Amino acid sequence: MKISLIQMNSRQAKAANIAAATDLIERAVAEEQPDWVCLPECFDFLGGTRAEKREAAEILGEGPAYRAMQDLARKHGIFVHAGSILERIAGQELIHNTTLVFDRAGKEIARYRKIHMFDITAPDGTQYHESSAFKAGNAAVTYDCEGLIVGCAICYDLRFPDLFQVLAEKGAEMIALPSAFTLLTGKDHWEVLCRARAIETEAYFCAPAQTGTHHVGGDVRSTYGHSLVVDPWGHVTARASDGVGIVSTRIDRNLVAKVRAQIPVARHKVRIR
């Protein structure tokens, strides 16, 4: 199966972001002919105030980001793992950060809401409080991509290995982690954590990321980029360069089986209390 990861520089202009995502997927299809395409976290709207985020959020199935990705999957006969979008919750001020997946016919086959909220103070003193705008999800999600089981996670989830062990136990052979990793944390932690999660789960790890800058109120925030694919042995098999673009590679299910046979960690796992 051939896959393409889309690296974007989304900002606070929803229509422009959706147009950019559409153009990049169209380009990936024309140049790479992928079976499966994955966008980064918050591809439809990144940054802005809490009120602006809520205004940009959409009821799933009714909004432009949802329809655009559904239409692209149907038009090109591909799987679209639509990074994440801002999902409005009826009657609530908080919103969800939600992954949507569409099959080759444009049917929604998975929906994952980010579980872990990025409430931290970065090394430069910048404060991030996702929980002030977002409501956490509570369910681990996998889906079947023509026999390949794909697990879902988003950005800060990367730091919580228990989630990925659950995905592996649910049969995941490939894990998608759409992200908007900060520049400061990304330069030190991004690759090593992605490789660790691939090695631990003995699964392919696919991490499309945001790159460049966006604004949150009067602050400029920088994202790390460096979208990458890691194989089940922990080798980086594809990596995006700086800037907006596409990176593609092939997934070999036989390699997953081979690695799991060589080091059968699932069989050796001991429940420790």
The residues annotated as belonging to the active site are 41, 114, 155
Q: Within 13 Å of residue 22, how many CA atoms lie on the same side as its CB?
A: 17
